[in-house]
Amino acid sequence: MRKVPEEMATKMMAAADLFAERGLDGTKTEDIAAATGVPKATIYYYFEGKEEVLSFIFSAVLAAVGEAVEAALRSPGTAAERLSAVIDAHLHVFALHPKASQALHFDLGRAARLPEIRTQTNAAFIDPVASLLAQGARDGSLRAVGNPRLTAVAILGAVSTSAIHVLALDTGDPVLSLTRVITPLVLNGLRPEGGNQ
């Protein structure tokens, strides 16, 4: 992948709509050209092919997730408070990049097979959250869990799946409102108040 000029990068992000709608295989290179205004051959000049365009978009989303999560982690407060901030930050990315997020979800299987994407997912979300859980156990704001990474994966799943669900329903329902569903679930669980027995 040749170094992608700023303008090209911006234009390519427009392809996210296509990928979100039809997935990678349902999107012809020609479609991307039409949607972005960049000639097919020029796309090939900068990218190896449409899969690399997809990967480029995924990377952009994950970079945004990474930054948002990192900022949340640096916020003041207990680990529990920061975990709450992380969930909000994550939801913010879904709100900011709804199409790209849906594209990532659409081709989840393919994304999981792109080594670069796996690495970025770990770095942007799973590692930081797992480490945050460990901190919470230390500062007493969170319960110690047996497997912090798997717990982080479960949280990732809860957030992503419901966010995509809300985006797909396409009721005006803001994704951010999900925080009222996810955060209590993750922090307090479903048992009635007064006794997490």
Partner DNA sequence: CATGAATGAGCTTTCATTCAT
Partner DNA sequence: CATGAATGAAAGCTCATTCAT
DSSP secondary structure of 28-49: -HHHHHHHH---HHHHHHHSSS
- Write the binding mask 16 to 45 for a copy of itself: x where contact by CB under 8 A, - elsewhere: -------xxxx-------------------
- Tell me whether residue 71 or residue 181 sits nearer to a copy of itself (CB atom): 181
Other CB atoms within 10 Å distance of the CB of residue 148: 21
Interface with a copy of itself, residue 157, by CB under 8 A? yes
Q: CA quadruple 132, 162, 112, 146: dihedral positive or negative?
A: positive
Q: Which residue has the tokens 């700023």?
A: 6
Contact (CB, 8 A) for 175 and 95: yes
Interface with DNA, residue 49, by CB under 7 A? yes
Phi, psi of 186 (to 5 degrees): -70, -40
Interface with a copy of itself, residue 171, by CB under 8 A? no
Contact (CB, 8 A) for 25 and 103: no
Closest CA to 44 of 10, 13, 8, 17: 8
Interface with DNA, residue 113, by CB under 7 A? no
The DSSP symbol for 124 reads I
Interface with DNA, residue 151, by CB under 7 A? no
DSSP secondary structure of 147-159: -HHHHHHHHHHHH
Q: Closest approach of Cβ 145 to a copy of itself, in Å?
A: 7
Interface with a copy of itself, residue 83, by CB under 8 A? yes
- Tell me whether residue 27 or residue 84 sits nearer to DNA (CB atom): 27
Q: Closest approach of Cβ 177 to a copy of itself, in Å?
A: 9
CA quadruple 30, 35, 37, 41: dihedral, nearest 10 = -20
Interface with a copy of itself, residue 123, by CB under 8 A? no
Q: Find the part of the chain contacting a copy of itself (CB under 8 A) among 43-51, 52-60, 68-76, 146-154.
A: 146-154
The only residue of 45, 67, 75, 196 in contact with DNA, by rule CB under 7 A: 45
Q: Which residues bind a copy of itself (CB under 8 A)?
A: 23-26, 80, 83, 102, 105-110, 112, 133, 136, 140-143, 145-147, 150-151, 153-162, 165-166, 168, 178, 180-182, 184-197
